[in-house]
Amino acid sequence: MERDAILIPGGGLLRDGHLPPWVCARFDLALAVYRDELLIPLSAGTTHKAPPLNEDGFPIFESIAGGRYLTLHGIPPDRILTENCSYDTIGNAFFSRLIHVDPLELRKILIITSRFHMQRTHITFNWVYGMPPSRCSLAFLEAPDEGIPPHDLQARMDREKKSVTRLNETVSRIHSLSELHRWLFTEHTAYGVHHRSGDDPGAAMATY
- Res. 196: pLDDT tops 80: no
Q: Specify the pLDDT at position 1.
A: 64
- Res. 24: pLDDT tops 90: yes
Question: What are the pLDDT digits (tens) for 110-146?
Answer: 999 999 999 999 999 999 999 999 899 999 999 999 9
- Res. 154: pLDDT tops 90: yes
Task: Report, in this order, helix, strand and coil percent for the chain, each rounded to 5.
Answer: 45, 15, 40
Buried b / exposed e along 117-146 (16+ C-beta atoms within 10 A): bbbbbbbbbbbbbebeeeebebeeebbebe
Largest CA distance in the chain: 44
This prediction has a pTM of 0.96
pLDDT band at 200 (very low <50, low <70, confident <90, very high): confident
- Res. 153: pLDDT tops 70: yes
